[in-house]
Structure 1
Amino acid sequence: MQLDIAAPRVARRAPPLAAAAMGFALFVAGAPALAQDTAPFQLAQAATAPAAKPPQPSAEQMKLANELLVANGEASSFDAVIPNVVEQTAAGFVQSNPDLIRDLREVAKQLSAQYESRRTEIVQILATIYATEFTTQELRELLAFYRSEAGKKLVTKREELLKVGFSSIQAWSAQFAREMEVRVREEMKKRGFTI
């Protein structure tokens, strides 16, 4: 682990669930703007209504959800969260105390190792989400799929498939943009404009 404030951090590819979580966070951030369109009566009614508490998943659902997260690879996709948070926190102190960079690196390394066991908390958050969203039978079916040869192949190939897919979509997008440039010019020419 290195604290390097001079070089920009290279973003790691977010796993599918992390990407979904980021999308959800962006949605929630925009919620106040959406709420402004709601009628005052509805806002007052929503404020006084008790929040519906989702049913707690059973112990079997939690067990199956944990097994599923291991089988589908998502349990290990958050391995870097704790070291990254510790490193970023320590790097924040480097900006105001540049002479302490060496000591801050050592502290970050020590704390990363010390708090590594808390990674299970992240897995439990995910397991609770899965266990709440899927029935026991659905979890069994998903687990059966990810333990099958096709499921194992999907987990093994997922990163490669996403990389090839992203690259192919970028190439397609560039070609499509060139086509649109020609079409926009043609349409604007029909209106008497040369661009």
Structure 2
Amino acid sequence: MFSTRNVSRAAILALAVSLAAPVGAQEITQSHLDAALDALRASPASRSYDNLLPAVAEQVKSQLILMRPDLHTQISETVDEVVLTLVPRRNDLDNDLARVWAKGFTEDELVTIATFYSSPAGQKFNQIGPTVISDAFKVAEGWANRVREELVEKTQEALKAKGVEF
């Protein structure tokens, strides 16, 4: 069966593969990395990592509280304090992601991507794109279900014409 979750996973995998595809064996220059950072920060992809550090903090809280449940309040408060000192490390993530983008796109392509996402159409895409994509997946799922039902019906009719009963 066609599920939105499977389609989403397939779309994410396709995006990951496309981003990982090399543009050639060229050296990545600083201007290429800068263009990648601009494109990354302008695109909705960057925001998908915004909850990563809070999620890691929650995992650490859970891990430490399992070890010392009697200190749950102190652990929670301390993790919240310490995680704030790690916020600047987001730049490390952005730089690593920019390298991935720079490997997948030429500098000119990255400039085009950043320009698009900074344009009114790109900003609208950032705002409503996830809803449009979700709605499109629902339409595709509905279509697949209708076609599946039709295929079953027509196959059963064809088999019946060949003397096979269901």
Give the TM-score taking structure 2 as reference length. Answer: 0.70
Q: What are the ranges of 5 or more consecutive residues in structure 1 without an aligned counterpart?
A: 1-10, 25-53
RMSD over aligned CA atoms reads: 3.4
Give SS of 2:149's match. helix
Contact 1:86–1:111 at 8 Å: present in 2 too? no
Give SS of 1:57's match. coil
Q: How does 1:100-115 map to 2 (within 5 A)?
A: 100=70, 102-103=72-73, 104-115=75-86
Higher normalized helix content (fraction of residues): 2
Identical-residue share of aligned pairs (%): 21
Give the TM-score taking structure 1 as reference length. Answer: 0.61
Q: CA deviation at 1:163?
A: 1.7
Return the alpha-carbon distance in structure 1 between the equivalents of residues 68 and 14 of structure 2: 34
Return the alpha-carbon distance in structure 1 between the equivalents of residues 40 and 10 of structure 2: 12
The aligned counterpart of 1:57 is 28
Q: How does 1:22-171 map to 2 (within 5 A)?
A: 54-92=25-63, 97=67, 99-100=69-70, 102-103=72-73, 104-171=75-142
How many pairs were matched up?
A: 153
Equivalent residue letter for 2:80: K
Given the alignment of the two structures, is residue 20 of structure 1 paired with residue 13 of structure 2, yes or no?
yes
Deviations 1:102-147, CA, capped at 9 Å, x for gaps: 3454454344433232222221122112223333322222222222
Equivalent residue letter for 1:162: I
Equivalent residue letter for 1:120: N
Contact 1:15–1:77 at 8 Å: present in 2 too? no
Deviations 1:141-194, CA, capped at 9 Å, x for gaps: 222222222222222221111121122222222222222221232233234333
The aligned counterpart of 2:20 is none
Q: CA deviation at 1:55?
A: 4.2
Return the alpha-carbon distance in structure 2 between the equivalents of residues 97 and 75 of structure 1: 34
Equivalent residue letter for 2:88: S
Equivalent residue letter for 2:154: R
Instruction: Tell me: higher relative CO, structure 1 or 2? Use CA pairs within 8 A at least 6 residues apart.
Output: 2
The aligned counterpart of 1:178 is 149
Q: CA deviation at 1:66?
A: 0.9
Contact 1:15–1:74 at 8 Å: present in 2 too? no
The aligned counterpart of 1:39 is none
Given the alignment of the two structures, is residue 187 of structure 1 paired with residue 158 of structure 2, yes or no?
yes
